[in-house]
Amino acid sequence: MITIGRIAQMREVSKRAREEGKLIALVPTMGFFHEGHLSLIRKANEVGDLVVVSSFVNPSQFGPGEDYENYPRDPERDRRLAQENGTDILFSPSVEEMYPQGHSTWVEVEGLTEVLCGKSRPGHFRGVTTVVAKLFLIVQPHYAIFGQKDYQQAQVIKRMVEDLNFDLKILVEPIVREPDGLAMSSRNLYLTPAQRREATILYRSLLRAKELVEGGERDAERVSALIKGMIAPLPSAKIDYVSVVDGENLRPLSKLTGKVLIALAVKIGRARLIDNILISVDE
Ligand code: PAF
């Protein structure tokens, strides 16, 4: 595995790989790897000949007062895990390399970014799409792999790829969970032991909602009320949203039908946690 910090060198390596007919698979990350990231790297190994993992804590996707400064970082451990899981290139640019003085171009997807996390994190998806577009232009991948935990992010990026005619395929891999069901996230680190126990309710509430739907419930309001009713009593939890939306366009549903996404964001202590479940609902 080689570590690259400069855009020019990354471009050169990708150009050569493409000339040799190699398929490039990119896993964009903000580092601090957990099993969720490693599953994406393993997927990249299945589809690509050259596996590039980018590790960049992207300042432009954090709002004022969010956790950019404190976002967990452990580059040494990341290097070891990336190597052990089959990474060929770890692309780890500095902030100055990605956003040199004078940077003033932004990529913004409308509509899909105004709901769910976009409501309470204005500007967040603009930061994500800008950095991801830059990574696509630098690394020139054939495949880019994202996790389903950030379902809205994946939908937004798919939209951007289509609208800007990027010549690559987006793959979305299943959520990786702790044994007790909590979705893996770098931000789980912020939880105290008591909050960590509370956090298990998030996935349990999604499973209960799924059971309710499987039992015939089709009213979105009643499904989200069930989830809110389980989470609201937790001493450290503050619900940002619990939403039942169309799995493609993310528009709110009143009656469940087709591909349905039940998504939630909840602040537990210092950690803003997100989770979701996709259900296919018959009429
Ligand atoms: O999902 C993430 O870790 C980030 O949003 C991403 C896609 C690497 C962009 O910074």
CA of 21 to the centre of ligand 1 (A): 28
In this prediction, residues 35-45 reach a mean pLDDT of 98
**Residue 263's beta-bridge partner residues?**
243, 276
Domain-embedded: residue 117? yes
28 lines ligand 1 (CB under 6 A): yes
- Residue 279's pLDDT is 98
Tell me if 145 CB under 6 Å of ligand 1: no
Residues 72 and 99 grouped into a single domain = yes
- CATH at residue 101: 3.40.50.620
The finding on whether 30 has its CB within 6 A of some atom of ligand 1 is: yes
* 239 beta partners: 266
Predicted pLDDT of residue 280:
97
CA separation for the pair 204, 223 (Å, rounded): 13
Say whether both 123 and 223 belong to one domain.
Answer: no
Mean pLDDT of the chain: 98
Residues 190 and 193: their CA atoms lie apart, in Å, by 10
**Beta-bridge partner residues of 29:** 55
pLDDT at 283 over 80: no
Q: Looking at residue 130, what is its pLDDT?
A: 99
Q: Is the CB of 150 within 6 Å of ligand 1?
A: yes
- Produce one character per residue of 116-145: b if its CB has 16 or more CB atoms within 10 Å, e if not: bbbeebebbbbbbbbbbbbbbebbbbbbbb
Nearest CA to ligand 1 atom 3: 29
Same domain, 154 and 247: no
Kindly state whether residues 194 and 162 are assigned to the same domain.
no
Q: Would you say residue 25 has pLDDT above 80?
A: yes
Over residues 23-39, mean pLDDT = 98
Closest C-alpha to 145, from 164, 80, 153:
153
- The reported pLDDT for the residue numbered 42 is 98
Is the domain of 152 the same as that of 257? no
Ligand 1 mean position, distance from CA 254 (Å): 31
The rounded Cα 268 to chain-centroid distance in angstroms is 19
- Assess whether 155 and 233 both reside in one domain: no
Identify the residue whose C-alpha is closest to ligand 1 atom 6.
Answer: 29
Q: How far is Cα 229 from Cα 239, in angstroms, rounded to an integer?
A: 11
Atom of ligand 1 at shortest range from CA of 29: 8
Tokens at 269, concatenated: 């202590």
Q: Which of 173, 199, 216 is the last residue of a domain?
A: 173
| Å from CA of 226 to ligand 1 middle | 31
**Does residue 181 sit within a domain?**
no
**Residue 195 within a domain:** yes
- Under DSSP, the state recorded for 185 is -
Q: Where are the alpha helices (DSSP H) in 51-150?
A: 75-84, 95-98, 117-120, 124-139
Query: Which helix or strand (DSSP H or E) is residue 12 part of?
Result: helix 7-19
Residue 109: name the closest of 122, 126, 92, 95 by CA.
Answer: 126
User: 234: Cβ below 6 Å to ligand 1?
Assistant: no
- 190 vs 107: CA distance, rounded Å: 30
> pLDDT tens digit string along 91-111?
999 999 999 999 999 999 999
Q: What range does the domain containing 75 cover?
A: 2-173
Q: pLDDT band for position 161 (50/70/90)?
A: very high
CATH code, domain with 249:
3.30.1300.10
Q: How confident is the model at residue 6 (pLDDT cuts 50, 70, 90)?
A: very high
Split at pLDDT 50, 70, 90, the class of 225 is: very high
Q: Which residues are catalytic?
A: 37
- Which pLDDT belongs to residue 70? 96
Answer yes or no: are the C-beta atoms of 221 and 262 closer than 8 Å: no
The strands making up 271-281's β-sheet, listed across from edge to edge, are 237-246, 258-268, 271-281
Question: Does some domain include residue 178?
Answer: no
Ligand 1 mutation target, pool 33, 95, 132, most atoms within 8 A of CB: 132
Question: If you take atom 9 of ligand 1, which residue's CA is the nearest one?
Answer: 128
Q: Is 175 left (phi over 0), alpha (psi -120 to 50) or beta?
A: beta
Domain boundary among 173, 199, 214: 173
| Whether 125 contacts 74, CB under 8 Å | no
Distance, in Å, from the CA atom of 150 to the CA atom of 42, rounded to the nearest integer, reads: 18
Is 116 domain-assigned?
A: yes
pTM equals 0.98
Nearest alpha carbon, ligand 1 atom 8: 29
Per-residue pLDDT tens for 179-212?
Answer: 999 999 999 999 999 999 999 999 999 999 999 9
128 CB within 6 A, ligand 1: yes
Residue 283 within a domain: no
Task: Tell me the C-alpha distance between 223 and 264, whole Å.
Answer: 12
Q: Which residue in the block uniquely carries the two structure tokens 């050569």?
A: 16
282 pLDDT band, cuts 50/70/90, is: confident
Q: Are residues 165 and 202 in the same domain?
A: no
CB-count burial class (<10 Å; 0-12, 13-18, 19+) for 165 = exposed
Strand partners, 55: 29
